[in-house]
Amino acid sequence: MVEPPAAVTAPPAAPSPFVVRYVCDDKYDEGAVCRPGKPAWDAWLGTLQLDAAPNLLNRQGGGPGGAEWNPNAPLVAFVASADAGSARLKSSKATYKPVARFGDYDIFLVPMPAWSAAVRPARASDFPPETEFSPNSVVELRALGAKGELARGSFAFSRGE
């Protein structure tokens, strides 16, 4: 009798070094209720799992090229950092310092007016090769450590253009 193959289980997903999400995972939250130190923020972080969750901005887009439609919430960037407070986040317009800590991540809060000011036109290279490219706006963020760039990420969005 042939034994059935043993069940194969995937190893747990490694934590991503750089994850960007909307504040409290709500692209319409203007950030008045969900801010560091407020109950909604603490409740959100209490249920958040970054190790297995894909980047929210890469999975929720429904517009051209996977773009988000009309977001107006602050962005929250989680940057893996061995030394608390040592990472920095940079856009084309500003450099940010961490506002909080979450496990091994420094947390950065980028208000909507700030990320909106850092918008640039999308390029075909901003999307995976299999994506049908459509013009969008893109915000690019870079995570920096003491020894240089740790990671880079961008997300596309549309304001109904």
Pairing relationship of beta strands 68-69 and 148-158 according to DSSP bridges: parallel
Residue 50 has pLDDT above 60, yes or no: yes
Do 156 and 66 meet the contact criterion of CB atoms below 8 Å apart? yes
Which helix (H) or strand (E) element contains residue 68? strand 68-69
Hey, which residues does 78 pair with through a beta bridge?
19, 107
Q: Which helix (H) or strand (E) holds 115?
A: helix 112-117
Report which of 66, 68, 49 is spatially closest to residue 112, judged by C-alpha positions: 68
Residue range 59-78: mean pLDDT, rounded? 69
Alpha carbon separation from 70 to 21, 82, 83, 118 (Å, rounded):
15, 35, 35, 16
pLDDT single digits (tens) 87-118? 999 988 899 999 999 988 999 999 988 888 88
